[in-house]
């Protein structure tokens, strides 16, 4: 597979009072070495997935990264761990929304 331009880049996305720090195949700024995505709200933050727990699926014009094994939920979802998926769609320079499991 050809290395894509966004490999190793960091992104910050804010929406509805939440900020996401995202590393594409790398840790986001100033985070633990195995962290892939951090969700921050006010003074609290949660790891949504780790670099060594990634699943990559691709099609002809898209790539889906799913990072798993984030921080556990407290008193919800049977204390399962958090995860996040990011889909990249190629072509026409359109930005599409990402989906995140909190």
Terminal Cα-to-Cα distance of the chain (whole angstroms)? 30
Residues 39, 86: Cα–Cα separation, whole Å: 14
Q: So what CATH class is 10-100? A: mainly beta
pTM for this predicted structure: 0.76
pLDDT tens digits along 70-92: 999 888 787 799 999 999 887 75
Going from N- to C-terminal start, the domains of the chain cover 10-100
The pLDDT, as a whole number, for residue 45 is 92
């Amino acid at each position: 597979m050809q290395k894509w331009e966004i490999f190793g880049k960091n992104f910050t996305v804010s929406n509805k009072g939440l900020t996401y720090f995202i590393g594409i195949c790398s840790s986001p700024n100033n985070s633990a070495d195995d962290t892939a995505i951090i969700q921050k709200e006010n003074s609290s933050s949660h790891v949504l997935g780790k670099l060594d727990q990634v699943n990559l699926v691709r099609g002809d014009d898209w790539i889906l990264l799913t990072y798993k094994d984030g921080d556990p939920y407290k008193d919800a979802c049977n204390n399962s761990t958090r995860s996040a998926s990011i889909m990249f769609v190629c072509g026409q320079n359109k930005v599409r929304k990402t989906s995140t499991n909190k």
